[in-house]
Chain A
């Protein structure tokens, strides 16, 4: 039977011009994604007992130097989900780059923060941890089944500073204004694509929804939910400029948002100011692109913005 599968190399060809070290990038797709976890510092500041426990169960665990509280685990194919450390809420398995949007957000105790697409909660729980459980977080997701997973994670990690809501992000009620909003948008997920033994593309998302349209709707609403001067972070785990720069560019045309630079703990490249002959706002260079082969984790895009009026 003739299988019709898409070749990874063919799929990514369209990004040849924008991905630095393109050949290395393609080669890296044959490797399974590395495994990481974050230590839950709400419960434990000294990782020693966790490291000892995991090593006793046969895991190799090493701290990630550039990103505090993150650890890399081998074998990467293993699951941490049925370890005791997981059950006790001492660790949260998540890819390293998933920590970046919260770096851009710089959450502070006392701030009112909306996590508009929050489930299953890797970033919500990270915000709670960074602020020592003192930010006030509204963690929203449109899907009730995913909210259930989020609530379980909040309980497992012992977070007491979050409320959970189930709204379509585009229709989140305007009654409350926030200091900061995070839009970790639903996306095509290209940053996590891998290729199989025959070069076929793995983990490709199903369906042909208009992701860019959804992302624009979410980002504009997120902006409208900010207090004047409030901060907005937009992130995806895709390489596709239509879902990244084009979405931010759309906001810049619709609202008086300002792009800000920010410090990232991992190597990045500036956002694009042009794609397929179409120019974007020049400030888009302040957004950051992170590529899987350079950071040994899922590829990410992160833009930080401020509401000016």
Chain B
């Protein structure tokens, strides 16, 4: 690319955009209904959107200024839009999972290791199918999908 072309590129093209109030409300509602996250936890943050993802970024009056520079990443990759559903990322859960009050799945070490190895294990749980937060020996590990009779790992 020539120097000139590079100059012309609008840095805003690389920036994810802040979501509207309605979209924010939808995200917060999902987080509260599925995992029991209180919306207050995310009060200091803004959600920024790209076509397939939501990013969490500290709320700041400098956002407009920052959009003048070309970024590689902005904030923490928080949710992925997967075929109409929202899937929390491992990074998001490892950071905020301890505030969850619903659909936290406590596994013993053996079951966790097996899930990591086999990616999918048969299991019967008393919970509504959907994404769950994996916990083991006091630490939050990440995300899995519970479907009737099986658990599918999203651990990297």
User: In the complex, A164→B14 CA distance in Å?
Assistant: 12
Give the A-B pair count, Cβ closer than 8 A: 83
Chain A residue at minimal CB-CB distance from B155: A87
Interface bracket on B: 20 to 34
Contacts of B58 in A (CB 8 A): 133-136, 160-161
Contact of B95 among A42, A162, A163, A173 (CB under 8 A): A42
Partner-binding segment picked from A92-100, A151-159, A190-198, A295-303: A151-159
Out of A88, A112, A165, which one reaches B70, CB within 8 Å? A165
Q: Report which of A90, A136, A160, A176 forms a contact with B139, defined as CB distance below 8 A.
A: A90
Which A38-60 residues have a C-beta within 8 angstroms of B?
42-43, 49
Complex: A112 Cα to B63 Cα, angstroms:
10
Query: Is A134 in contact with B66, judged by CB distance below 8 angstroms?
Result: no
The answer for the CA separation of A136 and B57 in the assembled complex, in Å, is 9
Give B60's nearest chain A residue, CB to CB. Answer: A136
Q: Assess whether A176 is in contact with B74, with CB atoms less than 8 Å apart.
A: no
A166 within 8 A of B: yes
Chain A residues with CB under 8 Å of B56's CB are 160
The reply to whether B62 and A163 contact each other, CB–CB distance below 8 Å, is no
Q: With A42-B95, A134-B58, A136-B66 known to touch, is A155 a contact of B71 (CB < 8 Å)?
A: no
Interface of B is mostly: mixed
B72 touches A147 (CB 8 A): yes
In the complex, B122 has a CB within 8 A of chain A? no
B78 to chain A, nearest CB (A): 8
Q: Is the interface of A mostly helix, strand, loop or mixed?
A: loop
Contacts of A49 in B (CB 8 A): 138-139
Q: Which residues on the A side are within 8 Å of B68 (C-beta)?
A: 173, 175-176
A155 and chain B: residue at smallest CB distance: B91
B138 and A176 contact, CB distance less than 8 A: no
Residue interface mask B62-81, A partner, CB < 8 A = 1 = 10011011111111111000
Extra A-B contacts (12), CB below 8 Å, given A84-B139, A136-B66: A133-B44, A147-B72, A151-B73, A155-B91, A160-B78, A161-B57, A161-B58, A161-B75, A163-B74, A163-B75, A175-B65, A176-B66
5 closest A-B pairs by beta carbon, nearest first, are A158-B95, A161-B58, A160-B76, A175-B68, A164-B72
Instruction: Tell me the A residues contacting B by CB distance below 8 Å.
Output: 42-43, 49, 84, 88-90, 110, 112, 133-136, 138, 147, 151, 154-156, 158-166, 173, 175-176
